[in-house]
Amino acid sequence: RSHGPPPTPPPQPPQYQCPDCGRLLPSPAQLLAHQTQHRRWGGTGPPVRYQCGECQALFPSRALCLQHGRTHHFYPQNSTPPPPPQPYECSECGRLFPTPEELLEHQGDHFAATEKEKPDAEPDPP
């Protein structure tokens, strides 16, 4: 027997989807906090990329990179894959960086330090 229309399900809270990993979060503030986990430089830089040391595949999170390693390279559950190669070397100091963006950011520090060390230029004689 029917006693009227079926009950209406409770309204679902709005969901905000992370563009980096697809995770759904309940508020814009939680989405922003979550996104800072994916990004360097306080949430304004490029997405953090974790690179598989075996095949160089890129992932937005360490967890996804580890899951990939266990699935595709048969790493045991509690092991960590080998560190990814760091092929970008600073010509000034020899430090290695995993991405060209990080190398450029670092080299900007060298440039800023060089600019501070330069004496003020003398004005040209008349």
Tokens describing residue 24: 């759904």
Tokens describing residue 79: 């092991």
What are the domain boundaries of the chain? 14-46
7-57: pLDDT as tens digits: 777 777 778 887 766 778 888 888 777 776 656 544 555 566 677 777 777
4-16: pLDDT as tens digits: 777 777 777 778 8
Residues 6+ apart with CB under 8 A from 64: 21, 50
